[in-house]
Structure 1
């Protein structure tokens, strides 16, 4: 079979036929066939007309559409972007065919095209008809032209008036569950609310009562009521609300005119607590419809808008079933050409514990911040919280969110903080310690003599000095430096390591690379353009400078201290491998143990920055506090502070918590976060 493949650029030859002056110059009918097929394959439908005979042109000119419009519409609706037409060339001499005696030739052809309902292969024929044209000098020219058939547009069409009906059967969307089978995004029920003006005794009184209940403008309610001024007995659709919206129960107390009933819809049982991770669906936009052309969406479809609903749209949605039917002029079915059954979406099961997620969210309360809870041995992410939050149910249904009234800039509700990167402050210090131990530049038993509150190595630093909090400590070893969170100690360790070595270790620890996780996270970075000065290197040693860390990355790196130096792979889906290494043996077991030992006094020693007489829980916690100062200059007295605390149960090794809260200045800095994490751990017992 001779194949004609789709060409990205195609130009029809301007001269398709030549006059037949002798046997050697006789027109080959297959030149016409080739021209017709090339035009068809290359979607140059107008060019197909140039090689059709008069009978075909008469048929097509009597239609309400042009051939070009018809074929573009059909192929566009069916998602056809490639057409292949093949035929068997003929040897006229071998077949003893005298073209002088033959008036028509029929070529069987096979047509292949991909469609939204699957690949279509069908057989048809192209008839070539000989015509003689006479010029002004009475010279006859022989041509071969195509006798057009309706199935040259699409399989199964028998008449030019036939139509194609494409119908879709939407798949059932997959659901999202937590580790215990709790529904996080499920196919449930919503309430549909409508208004009937005809039964209202007083439209103005009704509008005022409804507006007050749903915190709306009276004018907006009146617009809903008056949607069909000529048909006051019609239902005027208002909006949908979640089934757990308490205002639905109060609708019965409104003046007459409101109706509501349950209907199928998406439910988010943890709509506020898991909004940033699970996200929501919503009505498809024109832009989204165009972007997903050929995937079975229509103007009434819903699509993932945020979170997992967006990231895993293809998996959750499944595939629509499609039927392609040929109808006659009266709308009767001629043929069902193609039919595929819908493939329902797949369910997603997360490692998230909805109970812990809700408890962590409640602990953060009205604070702006983020929290990560992980099992440090298996890598299972048990909670990912970002506050403040929106309600997935409300965003899905597109109704007004009263939370927006509390903020001048409502975008704060949609900032997914666990995805971002932040200055880590002193929670970075264990990594500096680990690097120094591995490089042999840090002796955990060596005490450095540090005097005063500020320090610089020499006058080359100008007026810049590194500042610490506890200036009364003059002899500082690793445990003391960690317990008191001594910036000068860790700055000196970073300088001893050196810039190139520190940068190499940062790369080994995953800085500057995508975090291998089933939900996109921004990468952590060690410096904007490298550690190009001793001041920047020193500041980096205690988590300031230009260091930015993603909270999940930070949390994962702490797992090395209870995994003999291996960083465990963080996982979000329950079908992923648990306990796999992300960074295997990144440090030695001895280094990991030494750093862990230095983190225990931070919490258990009375002088530790995370020590509390009564933490409210009975866990054995090793941890590290950190306060990242976001000042414009060292001389600035005031600046925003990010409070951090990482807490790890070093005996049970079953929970690792990282929490960051914004704007902790004047509220105890990282100490405020310590109290919050202790509160969470007491709830999670």
Structure 2
């Protein structure tokens, strides 16, 4: 029995001893593995602090010896200046070897000069990083500097369809002072008055510590075309004008709502576009094509990150990225037509859209009154900015983006919907009535018209623009067919266009009311139309029922937006619209000429609180098209407040010259 116990105990102790031995071996292995993993984690955590710009916490991760070599203030300033100067981000660390707490690893990071990748080594002592300047970039020493040289990309131009520059490089003068040449305080007064600056702001600028007597100190930028201002400035001792390149808009107000403008970036811009090459001195597209195509126009700046030794010589290049100039954006716009339409309505609050109905190319896109995009380059005084914003005519409002009561321009659309849905007989005589209501349930509400032709069928109703006819027609067409027609015309849908447009709309709920259905037939009711969409709809009437997608950038492929009408429908409507011009009683008869056959529809949208309101305003409309297949064009113009100015006739008389000039060129 004793032998048995001895053997069992012996075996037992051997097993335990074996377990202890295995545990000891595993512990040693785990110690080294975990130690290594811990070293790797320390390194990666350190780079995380770099990416988070926590430079003070980075310093606490340094070994005792490293902290003796680099005081905290120097370390923080050194790292912050370099990492933020090269715009380092998106760090990736891969440890490729480790032995005796020495780590070999690969660093990848994004910088202003593209991706930087290099292999490096470091030691971990007592859980702390042994750090010197080569940790940032290999071969960098404490006496070296890191320099970033930028090569700014040229911004792309905005061109019209014929290559005429709408936005691009122009010349300007940088106005500055050389302090040593100034006569005295009176010069500050003269300069402040000429440049719309304050004397105090000029004096503050000139008091900077870096300025020497022979230093040129820039104050502002002025157009190089203002020769009178140039001569007045040069009469002041100490004033110097240096030529510089600026963004220029040679057509000024004519194209500014279209091209948009640029402004200096804000802190929000820099945060939103971090890593995209913007600096505190950058300009950015703020509206129009400048904003919509900012990325393409801007291009990519070139940059070189170099290590410079204490003698000022280039020790090595860390990374280099060649600049890529911005793309030119060519528009479908004919700037001559754009200019003619602008000049015709310069003093009005208006929007004009010209479209090629066969392909959707926008030939002109005008909003008046306007502003000058150049002013945003040169800057505003407080008084100038306040005057622009407080102008009752609202020149900053882009009217081709907005929606408006369409008035009688909806009559052609109502008719086309009726024909397309077989709910309107174009030969039916609805009877000539100057004042009409469906029945006594309408109370005091009547539809009135200025002209009631006899016979009162569709063609005459369009020629004379009879409200009563189209009120009756809308009720005959019916709510469901009208809604179906509006949907086929994409009314209520987002407008596919390079610039943001307010979508046209109709209120479906109100169609349960017969008065609203009747009013919608002649463009009152609850309908609001965007001028670009209105021009597109009239284009379909000239293009066998195909409504092309409107576009203003020439590279955009033409496509069909919708096919609301058949050729049979559009042929009949087009023939009637030709008579609106050709017939002596037509509301657009003044457009009649011996050279070109035109089709047109006028409209006057009333904006008033009630039917009896006499204080409301009127909006004038015209949609006119050439039927000549070699000169395809539709122009839609909306003018605010034409009441007592001829109504839609005012619009007709002002569109005629730009249209004829375009057709005759």
Tell me which interval the TM-score lies in, with the shorter structure as reference length. Answer: 0.7 to 0.9
1:64 to 65, 68, 73: 73
| In the alignment, structure 1 residue 318 sits paired with structure 2 residue 299 | yes
CA contact (8 A) 1:36 1:48 kept: no
How far did 1:49 drift?
7.0
Which has a greater percent of helix?
2
How far apart, CA to CA, are the structure 2 residues paired with 1:297 and 1:531? 52
1:545 to 519, 525, 530: 525
2:484 to 504, 516, 521: 504
Cα 1:111–1:410 change in 2 (3 A) is farther
How far apart, CA to CA, are the structure 1 residues paired with 2:90 and 2:655? 59
- Mind listing any 5+ residue stretches in structure 1 that lack a counterpart? 1-19, 91-101, 132-144
How far did 1:358 drift?
1.2
Deviates more, 1:343-352 or 1:279-288: 279-288
1:663 to 618, 625, 641: 641
2:281 to 300, 303, 311: 300
1:185-210 Cα offsets, whole Å, 9 max, x none, are 12121123345677677865894698
How far apart, CA to CA, are the structure 1 residues paired with 2:578 and 2:37? 86
Q: Which residue of 2 aligns with 1:25?
A: 27
CA contact (8 A) 2:40 2:95 kept: no
Cα 1:289–1:515 change in 2 (3 A) is same
How far apart, CA to CA, are the structure 2 residues paired with 1:462 and 1:80? 74
How far apart, CA to CA, are the structure 2 residues paired with 1:447 and 1:118? 74
Cα 1:156–1:500 change in 2 (3 A) is farther
Report the count of equivalent residues: 629
CA contact (8 A) 1:483 1:608 kept: yes
How far did 1:385 drift?
1.0
1:576 to 556, 560, 584: 556
2:396 to 401, 410, 414: 414
How far apart, CA to CA, are the structure 2 residues paired with 1:530 and 1:592? 28
| In the alignment, structure 1 residue 634 sits paired with structure 2 residue 611 | yes
SS in 1 for 2:621: strand
2:109 to 98, 110, 113: 113
How far apart, CA to CA, are the structure 2 residues paired with 1:113 and 1:226? 41
Residues 150-165 of structure 1: pairs in structure 2 closer than 5 A: 150=132, 154-156=136-138, 158-159=140-141, 163-165=145-147
1:408-449 Cα offsets, whole Å, 9 max, x none, are 437812111111111111112211111111111011111112
Q: Which residue of 2 aligns with 1:619?
A: 596
2:428 to 446, 451, 462: 446
Residues 248-327 of structure 1: pairs in structure 2 closer than 5 A: 248=229, 250-251=231-232, 258-327=239-308
How far apart, CA to CA, are the structure 1 residues paired with 2:524 and 2:343? 30
| In the alignment, structure 1 residue 462 sits paired with structure 2 residue 443 | yes
SS in 2 for 1:83: strand
How far apart, CA to CA, are the structure 1 residues paired with 2:346 and 2:87? 49
| In the alignment, structure 1 residue 350 sits paired with structure 2 residue 331 | yes
Q: Which residue of 1 aligns with 2:3?
A: none
Q: Which residue of 2 aligns with 1:17?
A: none
RMSD: 3.4
CA contact (8 A) 2:434 2:448 kept: no
1:43-74 Cα offsets, whole Å, 9 max, x none, are 476777777654345445x242556x866665
SS in 2 for 1:490: helix
| In the alignment, structure 1 residue 674 sits paired with structure 2 residue 652 | yes
How far did 1:146 drift?
4.8
How far did 1:293 drift?
2.0
Deviates more, 1:425-434 or 1:39-48: 39-48
Q: Which residue of 2 aligns with 1:83?
A: 91
1:422-481 Cα offsets, whole Å, 9 max, x none, are 11111122111111111110111111124232x3323333333323222x4364211112
Q: Which residue of 2 aligns with 1:476?
A: 456
Q: Which residue of 2 aligns with 1:533?
A: 513
How far apart, CA to CA, are the structure 2 residues paired with 1:341 and 1:200? 43
CA contact (8 A) 2:248 2:374 kept: yes
CA contact (8 A) 1:512 1:524 kept: yes
Cα 1:240–1:205 change in 2 (3 A) is closer
Deviates more, 1:654-663 or 1:525-534: 525-534
